[in-house]
Amino acid sequence: MSSYISTIYRLSTEPATTCNLSYEVKREGDSVYYRFKVQVGTLYPNTLAFSYNLKADITLNNKKILSGGTVKQTYPSKWTVPFTVYFPSKTGWYRVDDVGDVSALPCTVKIYSTQTSGTATSTGAVSVPILESNLQNIKAKVNGVWKNISNTYIKVNGIWKQAENIYVKVNGVWRGS
């Protein structure tokens, strides 16, 4: 897993179509949850038409979790603003159990049409948030010595106090020890 999955998919269809991919991830214990978001860009110039469907396949942690998911129906054939679809849904999540202490999971995303030629595929990985329990094992360098953060003291109003609730930003989310 040397690289992460692509965020831009340019299909070699006629006319060319571009999709942007992003994903959300959260972790609860040894289970990790993913939601994928695909945004279909507008056609340039706006006089072009794409009267074909767009589908998506997603394989996550070597298991196909989506096969032939509809990104776009055959119609509309023209659109002036990008539109967005979520997999499995805007509020749903795909669950991967028994993840353990890895930093990424293998993932392949394929966007294609069953009505015309043109496919865009990316194989790589998606990130895995660290286990919150592992935050207790994070060390900080204090006066040149590496110490466990649970034994860290901070100066508050001139008085040294032991830090009780230490928060670390992991993948854009603040997590407490």
The answer to whether residues 136 and 54 belong to one domain is: no
CA nearest neighbour of 81 among 132, 31, 30, 39: 39
The answer to whether residues 98 and 26 belong to one domain is: yes
Helix, strand and coil content of the chain, in percent to the nearest 5, comes to: 5, 55, 40
| pLDDT, tens only, 79-124 | 988 999 999 999 999 999 999 888 899 999 999 999 999 899 999 9
Higher-confidence position of 90 and 174: 90
Query: What whole-number percentage of the chain has pLDDT above 90?
Result: 55
The answer to whether residues 41 and 107 belong to one domain is: yes
The answer to whether residues 114 and 148 belong to one domain is: no
The answer to whether residues 84 and 119 belong to one domain is: yes
User: What number of other Cβ atoms are within 10 A of residue 46's Cβ?
Assistant: 10
Establish if 3 belongs to a structural domain: no
The answer to whether residues 76 and 150 belong to one domain is: no
Q: In angstroms, rounded to a whole number, what is the distance separating the alpha carbons of residues 168 and 165? A: 10
Q: Quick one: tokens of 166?
A: 């230490």
Residue 26: give its domain's CATH number. 2.60.40
Distance of CA 47 to the CA centre of its chain: 33
The answer to whether residues 123 and 138 belong to one domain is: no
The answer to whether residues 64 and 81 belong to one domain is: yes
Establish if 2 belongs to a structural domain: no
| pLDDT, tens only, 1-36 | 447 898 999 998 888 899 999 999 999 888 999 999
Query: What whole-number percentage of the chain has pLDDT above 70?
Result: 75
User: What pTM does this model have?
Assistant: 0.73
What integer pLDDT is reported at residue 2 of this predicted model? 46
Number of domains in the chain: 2
Q: In angstroms, rounded to a whole number, what is the distance separating the alpha carbons of residues 133 and 90? A: 29
Contact 105, 97 (CB under 8 A): no
- Whether pLDDT at 176 is above 90: no
The answer to whether residues 21 and 79 belong to one domain is: yes
Range of the domain at 112: 8-127
The answer to whether residues 60 and 123 belong to one domain is: yes
